[in-house]
Structure 1
Amino acid sequence: MSQTATSSQASAIEALRQRAYKIRRNSLRMGEVQGQGYVGQALGVADVLAVSYFRALKLDPKNPEWEERDRFLLSIGHYAIALYAVLIEAGVIAEEEIEDYGSDDSILPMSGMADYTPGMEITGGSLGHGLGIGVGMALGLKRKESDSRIFNLLSDGELNEGSTWEAVASAAHWKLDNLIALVDVNDQQADDKSSTVLNYEPIADKWVAFGWETYRVDGNDLEALVEAFDSAMQSNSDKPRVIICDTLMGRGVPFLETRDKTHFIRVDENEWSVALKQLDEVYGVQ
């Protein structure tokens, strides 16, 4: 690789790093407004969202319903605060909306609902349905001879749902190479660790067995994510693709990274400002 190419790649990674920082900061600011929110997941998945929206997706921030756009489906509706954060950073949603997060009549409800929020493609409250919807959308795009893609973010906990695996089988059957599933593996769900409730390993082997082109990466390593996304998008295979992303809840805020993990990380009133300060320090922002 030439020095120019190496420098260009380093610049691209740094730009994504700054996007991820702003996504994390937007998430914390919204959490502070309500004093709660799934900020642990938002901090963990921020790097995946940064690469999705600022490396992979084709979209028009001024026209979220542009017919030729790629569709990003949030199957895990309780991650809405994370998706709002990236939609704000992408310019789809105005930054001022942060102050109304979770309030009555806000376009940013606590759980994602498509009717309320620009750029929110589906309502993903009940887990296990998003990938099935994605299969239908991807098949529809195929039949319209569109070159748009479907990206579907789901969680390790959703792998407990039989409907998810029905969708996985269907996507392979229909050779939906325009569908890219993103699995956030943070090993947490409502009742316990995901691996304790129903062990999902060997997770990559399962997707391969179902006929998917499969990648597994550290979901907080931007270089690894870029390589996986680029490979998935440039592949000539007729298989659907899945990128399995191992993430750390609370990533970017040291005291939340080390806090005992549960599905809903508690942040006390006096800790929001500490979290923002630590995030700024991690990213070298004064």
Structure 2
Amino acid sequence: MNLIDILAYGFIQRALLAGTLIAVLCSVLGVFLVLRRMSLIGDGLAHVTFGSTAIALALKLYSASSLLVSLPVVLLSSLGILKLTEKARLNGDAAIGIVSSLGICLGITMASVGGGYNVDLLSYLFGNILSITPEEVWISAGLFCLVMTLLVLYYNELLAITFNEELARVSGVATNLINAVLVLLTALSVVLAMKLVGIMLISSLLILPAASALQLARSFRACVVLAAFQGGCSVVAGILTSFVTNLPASATVVLINLLFFSCAFLLRRLRNPSATA
């Protein structure tokens, strides 16, 4: 079977379109999160997504309908992490851990109430991008446009708080608002990435493209572009490879991202042998 035959399948077309949009989104946001040492927020919100998905499935809501439950729960949880950091004198990792624990406990409880870990819940845990529906593609496209628009509008402010939040605050930047925008955008991306790589691997899609780009880029803009490019390429290559080899698409996408990171790291070492690991 050649490439043209593979691309003729509707489910492959939907997976490539939605997957590329989601990957680009996560990769761009990942640059801000990695530089701010907030990359684990993706993992914490993924656990909350597990809990919200378990609630949706217990209520017999499936596919696009489950997003109606996951989106508000994960958005509120992201703000909860931010407020715990600001008001409870906790470091970001501690706040993420608290909310993450709550999400996991809720998920386990609701999975038990709903009859255990059925096939639907497992597909959300480990990803199943090839089963994405046309409605989910439209939702992904709409949220992609929303998030990218907000990123463009608040780009300078996000850049300012990424490198020096205190300086940004005294310069007049509404840092509390911008922090809220960043965590809300991350929450949206985490929910969208649920079908692409699964709840268990969401953080890898936020971290790996950004980490690879940081090995090679010489400017912040170049880093964002490289991360987005890698994220999109990894999804396309991962989906096509998984279809041909009959491997899980989510794991294949992450493995390709790991390969890209290894190549970027080695290239950096070759370009600058004196650089530290």
Q: TM-score, normalised by structure 1?
A: 0.29
Which one scores higher on RCO, CA 8 angstroms, separation ≥ 6? 2
Q: TM-score, normalised by structure 2?
A: 0.30
Higher strand fraction (1 or 2):
1
